[in-house]
Structure 1
Amino acid sequence: MFYFALAALAAHTFLVSIPARVFFIYAHQENNVSFENLNLHPAIIKAINELGYTQPTPIQQQAIPELIAGHDLMASAQTGTGKTAAFMLPALNRLATPAKIPGRGPRILVLTPTRELALQVSDATTKYGKYLSRVKVVSILGGMSYLLQNKLLSQHVDILVATPGRLIDHIQRGRIDFSRLEMLVLDEADRMLDMGFVQDVESIASFTPAHRQTLLFSATLDSTIDKIAARLLRSPKRIQVATQRAKLENIEQRLHYVDDLSHKNRLLEHLLRDQTLKQAIVFTATKRDADDLADDLAAQGHVVGALHGDMSQRERTRTLTKLRNGRLRILVATDVAARGIDVADITHVINFDLPKFAEDYVHRIGRTGRAGASGIAVSFASGKDSISLKRIERFTGQRITPSIIPGMEPKYKPRFGQNDEKSRRPPQVAHKRNRAWSPNERSPFNHTDTKKSQPARFGRSTPNDNTDNRKRSLGRSSQFNNTRVYAEPGN
């Protein structure tokens, strides 16, 4: 009896210690749960049944009931887990009932970091709300005509999907009325923070009603996200359906060490000639590299297109349409394409340049292996990529085994190429401080020694290229020097 009372007291102490504003929900898949059990409107059920949705994913199972109940929500879900439907189905369910406040302004606002993701959300919303009467979806994105957007905003709007920068422009010009807004959705919140949109997001939220329902979806829920949520959400429920270490069981990951640009190009050409490759995305570090590489591949006879932030919205939409229709076999892209592209026929993802952040690696390779299919992810790495590789392996919890193509073996030998942890440690050198070093030797304790000039990194532009303008210099790859790489603009 004494031990029972002690256990009860400990449990009570633990529960009291949890902050009152946050409730933790651990998602799990229940085989007997269907969309009909989630209290969605019959018109929505009809539409998703036509799309072939038979059973909700874990994020949908847990998020939809909480959102229909009216709670604010923080949710962590990796790409490809069905999170768009997780917030858009309950949003459409809300629209099935008449608005409490009259007007033409939006009842639902969805903020996304990139144009591609915004268009994907808009397209999915149109499909989900196919049988709901008079649901008007409008996209406000950078690169689109202001005249067209002004015309759309002057009409009745139910759901507004926007990138933060362009939406701020319209708000400052007084073209949007948020008086009847009921729900604010922050999609890919971690990406918006990485791209510097935090002030824009908070500014936009300040123009919306305080009684709104707020949803935050992110690949990770870290301390930075928690701070934003504390300012924008009210007593949110918290759902976490995926850990930061994505399993990626259906994606075969390969690694090829490279010596120089010529070696890298020869490896790429070999991979692209693979008959099993149906469609591929090749990721580069900069916009300039994407254009140059696409031109080189086109000259070699490949059906290829480029996608990056400097392209107009019309060009980007045309390129993505060709990719989805199968008229492009290869897409060369920057990280602007790492999220928001869902094409089932992409069999290969090739990291021509490794990403700056380990999280972006997961989003890049997540473009293949969609909807349960298998995929192949290939990464090129030089001797200076060892730190990036370690970060990626630590983040995914998986070791990427180096591969060799006969006849294209690298001259570079990675220092930590063995599987055992002991061999991965750098060799320890014992130095005697009382040793006299000759003038021709370099003391390990003399940090002012003159080093031989380092060879320029291989790539399409070198650090000493003075012909480049400032805009291009800000976007150069940091793979072979210490130049800082800035995030792709989302709008």
Structure 2
Amino acid sequence: MSFSELGLNEAFAATIHAAGYENPTELQKQLIPLITQNQSVIIWTQSASGKTGAFLIPAINYILNNPLEEHRHARILILTSRRDRVNQINYTIKRLLGDEQQIRSGFIVSGRPYQPQMRLLRRPLDLMIATPGRLNDLVDNNKADFSKLEMLIIDDLSAIYHKGLHGLINKILSERTSACPAIVFVRKEEEVSNYARAILAGAQELEVEEDKNPLLQIPQVVHLADDYTHKIALMDHLLDEFAGEPTYIFTVTNKTAKALAESLANHGHAAEVAASLAEEERDPSINPILIYADQDNDKPVLRGDEHIINFELPAKVEDYEARFGSLPTDSREEAVIAVVLPRERENLKRIEDYLGDSIEQCTLPGLAPLEHTSNFTPSVRSPRSHNGGQNQRNHSQNPGQNRGRSNSGQGQSRDNRERRDNNRGGQTNNRSQYDKPRQDNNDPNRQQQRKGPYGRMNNGGQQQTRRNDTGSGGNGNYSQPRRPHYPNANMQNRDGGNRGYEIGDWEKKQDYASTTPQDKNAGDKKVVIRYKEKRRIITNS
């Protein structure tokens, strides 16, 4: 069965398919037709696959089929108990609609100024997403009117009830009209079940088997990276934020794990590959940063309070799920982070299809990806030459230099290079190696001009400049809440951004560690030079 068979708008059904939703889940098959028929429904599940799409797809379809140019207040209200769910729902809306935003939406959450949210309540929104705590404050100040609601969706009635905010639910239901359906997701608990049946008498009841998959109950975020260097920059920033706290990093191969350990060592982080350590040395108190490779078939015992970073995404969802087999999901609030390259986008899509929901994509200040698009399709950036085409001028000034080489041969060589770059999935450098100016082999400074791995200078070179938290070499006045990778923190999403930073700032020739007086951890940062010591031994010999 496809989404077009569920009675949806044909154009919207095509957009859903283009967004990557190929076939509806079991919950979506049963719930979408009931909502399109304008019926109130109680769903006895909380973690069924495809839950977000199950209520967002018919809600957006209703807005598209019933457009209103002149109206006040929100037409559809979605209540959810957590701030990270607000971000996830907002991101899913944009993914379902594609590039053209066809509806007006807004969100109300705690931690934001009151005045803009008061004005938001009076704006003609098609869809509003809100957490009950802040919305309840606005209701107490008589700033909310629910008499014009056309649909009410409660994402987790059980959590709202246990927080003592069921009075807000009663007020909304008392003000709504009889034509306004209510869609409520409830866990099967006796007290909450009786309350749900009491406030929604005569509603359809739908029971879907709970998914025991722990992935559905783990908060997850994605950071997009342009290439390996960008990945290392993101890792350096995140590990600086963790400040020596227990961190587990997952890779696919053992080779990548060893290369990652060396890269992090060059940035001052003592990371160890777990497979090379004895069992007693894998204690986080001894080695706080441990790297586990799927290839080694060795998984850590997770307690639930550690940081988890997926440096690589496996091709099989089963391998991704196996990484978190021992992770307790009951009280997990820390987000599992994935750093994704363009060539790993298909692996991410498989995981999202398996979950039935999209994973929120976030950015860090000054480390936003260049490919900052909704589809995130890899692209090949054409190589740039020095000084606006220096090579072409050299050829024109020395006509005899290329004697004996035909123009067709040069074109064929360039075509081969471009084809090779395409096969690499767009992971090319900004400047092609063929466009670099020739260097004199007798130049005594040539050794100092060579760059080491990931853009660092070898053997002295020019003095490193260290990046402060402004991301662009500013005065370091930017202040950001600690650990922006938490979904319930003030993290920037892909479309929010920060005006103090520009996309691609991370590419500037600066280090990624802060030395501003505001950075308390800068002086305590351990610099690991074991790999550089090996190079010294070889040089002296």
TM-score between the two structures when normalised by the length of structure 1: 0.47
Q: Which has the larger radius of gyration?
A: 2
TM-score between the two structures when normalised by the length of structure 2: 0.43
